[in-house]
Structure 1
Amino acid sequence: MTHLLFLFFGAAIVNNFVLVRFLGLCPFLGVSNKISAAFGMGIATTFVLLMTSMGCYAVNSLVLIPFNLQSLDLIMDIVIIALTVQLVEIAIRFISYDLYNALGIYLPLITTNCVVLGLVLLQNSLQFSFSEACVFALGAGTGFTLVLTLFAAIRERLAISDVPEPFKNTAIALITAGLLSLAFMGFAGFAGSAA
């Protein structure tokens, strides 16, 4: 149980996919203007991470490895990611059309979000068990949601602050992202070798 907690904490904070591994920067910068959109994107991405993690693990262990088809691993992972994102897009459009409009083009772009593919490839290379893969995916999704929401809150505050002209908009966003990254890197070593 302690191992799974370290794995979760390691994926969420210590080795955060956005601020430490630098994956998923496109939605990080693109959807972080409003807290509601950032939180919705984080939850959608977390769900996609968990579903693709489970789906890819099942396909790898039940089909590809027993039939010696590991060379199709990347292709199958991409197909599973695309199917999962389509299902999430349909569900969000049905559940909350306002959130669907707020996320805009970034929702279908979860398919090409390197966080999702990076997670699947990393858990395959680390040879996680099913429970470890699920906890790792939840940790990565929680960390992604946390960082996206935190960054959106800071950007909302910066929008009403008196920022010098040369630093407005993208410049201050990148400076803030760098400072957040430094803060998260301060956790290195807390979770030992948790992924």
Structure 2
Amino acid sequence: MGEMLLVIVSAIFVNNVVFARFLGICPYLGVSRKLDTAIGMGFAVTFVMTVATAIGYFLQYAVLIPFKIEFMQTVMFILVIASLVQLVEIILKKVSKPLYSSLGIFLPLITTNCAILGVALISIQEEYDLVTSVVFSFFSAMGFILAIVMFAGIREKLEAADVPKPFENVPIGFISAAILSLAFMGFAGLVK
């Protein structure tokens, strides 16, 4: 149980996919203008990341390793991720049209979100078992949600703030992201 707690804390804070591993930066910067859109994207990424890691684990140990085709790992994981994104897109279109519309082009871009592929590959490289892989991927996604929701909240506040003209929009966004990243560096050394 103690080891699982270390995996959870590490995934959310210490080795946060956005701030420590620098994965998933495109949706982090692109979908963080509004809080509700950021939350929707976060939950879509959580679903895809968790399920893709579980399926990837199964494919790694049931197909790739037994047939000695580990070199196909990246291609196989990308196919799984693309299929899951299509499933999420169909579900969101039926369940929540406003969220589907607000995510727009960023929903299909979950397919190319390097955080999802990165977490699946990291769980294999770290040689986690299935349960640890799923826990790691779920809490890595929670770390992604934490990062994107915090950034969306800051960006919404900055809309009303009196920001100097040269720093409006993108520059102040990058400065805010850098400060958030520095804040998360305070967790470095807490766990491996």
> Which runs of structure 2 are paired with 1:34-183 in the superposition (5 Å)?
34-183=34-183
Distance (whole Å) between structure 2 residues aligned to residue 95 and residue 5 of structure 1: 34
CA distance in 2, matches of 1:107, 1:9: 28
What is the TM-score with the length of structure 2 in the denominator? 0.98
Query: Which digits, 9 at most, give the CA deviation of each residue in 1:50-77, with x for residues without a partner?
Result: 0100000011111111222212211111
User: The residue matched to 2:105 in structure 1 has which SS?
Assistant: helix
1:78-101 deviation per Cα after TM superposition (whole angstroms, max 9, x unaligned): 111111111111111111000001
Give the TM-score, by structure 1 length.
0.96
CA distance in 2, matches of 1:68, 1:36: 44
Cross-structure match for 1:186:
186
Moved over 3 A (4+): none
Paired letter, 1:50:
T
For these two proteins, the number of residue pairs brought into alignment is: 192
Give unpaired runs (5+ residues) of structure 1. Answer: none
- Aligned-partner residue type, residue 80 of structure 1: V
> Letter of the aligned partner of 1:121 in structure 2?
L
Stretches of structure 2 that go unaligned for 5 or more consecutive residues are none
- How far off its partner does 1:172 sit? 0.3
Q: Which residue of 2 aligns with 1:15?
A: 15
- Percent identity reads 46
Distance (Å, rounded) in 2 between the aligned partners of 1:106 and 1:9? 28
Q: Distance in 1 between matches of 2:8 and 2:144?
A: 12
Partner deviation per Cα, 1:5-37 (whole Å, 9 max, x = no partner): 110110111111111111111111110010000
**60-69 or 172-181: bigger deviation:** 60-69
Structure 1 distance, partners of 2:119, 2:28, is 16
